[in-house]
Amino acid sequence: MKRIALALLSTLALATVAHAAEYNQVQADKSRIAFSYQQMGVSMDGSFKNFSSQLRFDPAAPEAAAAAIEVELASIDTGSDEGDEEAAAKTWFNTKDFPQARFESTAVKALGGNRYEVAGKLTIKGTTRDVVVPATFAQQGDAGVFDGSLTIKRGDFSVGEGAWKAFDIVANDVEIKFHITATAR
């Protein structure tokens, strides 16, 4: 009887701990989505000011984790006004018809240590592709911080059409970097 009670208690305690450690409240002001690419051999940086994300992640049960991120493409900051306008135009993101880019996880795999692999579907400009995103997790105070990057080919999503289609000026590879901070409820 005593044994069973103990077992029950410890299960309950574990469940409480596990629950307490589920990070699911994204702190928008401490999160960032940026990108970089090469333009005639010059490394260029930019970011997206507005995006929303939902995630739940419990370090004790990473396989049950899930994430969804929606980026407002018109909030792009390329570093210049004419760059921002061009990026919103039909040849690039065509934000009028496709205002958001979306990532939705399908599976999370723990690679050991603080490293994880998040498989999911990335949708940009009406094209959806399977991607695998390497990510790390770190606990900082009562918050969980997720960092990672993914290199995509802009040509796969028809980002940069017409005169921009060639990759000699603006490279095909675009690295997307994210830094997401979430607290447990």
Q: Which residues of the chain form contacts with another protein (CB under 8 A)?
A: 39-45, 79-80, 82-83, 85-86, 163-164, 166, 168-170
Q: Cβ 140 to another protein, closest distance in Å?
A: 26
Shortest Å, Cβ 166 to another protein: 7
Whichever of 50 and 78 has its CB closer to another protein, that residue is 78
Q: Which of residues 91 and 149 has its CB atom nearest to another protein in the complex?
A: 91
Question: Rounded to the nearest whole angstrom, what is the least distance from the CB of residue 59 to another protein in the complex?
Answer: 36
CB closer to another protein out of 48 and 103: 48
What is the smallest separation between the CB atom of 79 and another protein, expressed in angstroms? 4
Question: Which residues in 16-168 belong to E strands, given as ranges?
Answer: 23-26, 32-39, 42-48, 51-56, 66-72, 76-77, 100-112, 115-124, 127-140, 143-153
At 27, list the tokens. 């702190």
Nearer to another protein, 43 or 106 (CB): 43
| Amino acid (1-letter code) at residue 124 | I
Provide the Cα torsion 164, 168, 169, 170; round to 10°. 70
Query: Which lies closer to another protein via its Cβ, residue 65 or residue 87?
Result: 87
The set of residues, in sequence order, having a beta carbon less than 8 Å from that of 19 and lying 6+ positions away, is none
Rounded Cα distance, 71 and 168, in Å: 27
Minimum CB separation of residue 82 from another protein in Å reads 5
Cα 126 to chain center, whole Å? 18
